[in-house]
Structure 1
């Protein structure tokens, strides 16, 4: 089974530049989860809420650290996840493009 959460958009503090630490900016999160559905399902609303809450509360410096932390939290809270693809985009940080960092994770559940 595959869950895809596309373009989860909200504002948070993320980044290492001085102005990024003061003013929340838009981020867009894309998530792809693969898991074996037998009798238990993974609630996509819970996944989206966990990601959003974590990002807002922890105010990451680096996107890379956010990806690492989110992958660990998702795997802990949803142990049936086999494969996780996460992508975090900062759509407004540069005037002429969107910037993203992504990673894939495989878990032994």
Structure 2
């Protein structure tokens, strides 16, 4: 099975500049991964979404890179998944583009 969580959007503290440490910014996260579905084992995508939001809001990352690596590590540790892909976007930090990181 493949789960895709697209455009998970919320606000959190992220960034290294002074104003980024006090004002929440919008982030957009896309996640996809595969897992082996069994009658007695499935992955609750709402749980995955809430876990990612909780990590982002609690940690208040300085860098998107750090956020990406921590989320990747936590999802791999928590669930039996393969082919994990994560993309974190900060759509409002620059006026003329959307900045994203992915792995």
- Compute the TM-score of the two structures, normalised by the length of structure 2: 0.96
**Given the alignment of the two structures, is residue 21 of structure 1 paired with residue 15 of structure 2, yes or no?**
no
SS in 1 for 2:75: helix
1:106 aligns with none
Distance 2:38 2:82 in 1: 13
Aligned length: 102
RMSD: 0.7
- Compute the TM-score of the two structures, normalised by the length of structure 1: 0.91
Distance 1:58 1:77 in 2: 18
Structure-to-structure mapping, 1:80-95, within 5 angstroms: 80-95=80-95
CA offset digits 1:12-55 (Å, max 9, x no partner): 00011111111000000000011111231111000000000000
What stretches of structure 1 of length at least 5 have no aligned partner?
104-109
What stretches of structure 2 of length at least 5 have no aligned partner?
none
Distance 1:36 1:67 in 2: 24
Distance 1:84 1:52 in 2: 17
2:38 aligns with 38
User: Runs (4+) of structure 1 moved beyond 2 Å?
Assistant: none
